[in-house]
Amino acid sequence: MVHNPIERNAVTRFILGFAIITLMSIGGEVVAGPLVSIAGPVAGFVGMFLGALAVFVAFAHWYVRYDASFEAK
């Protein structure tokens, strides 16, 4: 039975998690930047949340498909 190589090693899981958190903050900044200049700090907070959420959902969708490719058929 083949296993997901990321799940076998704690170091790779940590690195992937750190990379996703970093990408979530970048995605949040990309969305929040224009909103702060238009509507103020509260809109920036909402934009940060929505940007981070979009990155997380996209990653989760990709990772579920990636992990399923290692399932026994």
Residues 6+ apart with CB under 8 A from 50: 28, 31
Block residue for tokens 């920036």: 44
Helix (H, G, I), strand (E, B) or coil at 6: coil
> 10: number of CA atoms within 13 Å, CB side?
0
Query: Each residue of 1-60: pLDDT tens digit?
Result: 568 888 889 999 999 999 999 999 999 999 999 999 898 889 999 999 999 999 999 999
pLDDT at 7: 86
pLDDT at 30: 95
User: What is the pTM (predicted TM-score) of this model?
Assistant: 0.85
pLDDT at 73: 60
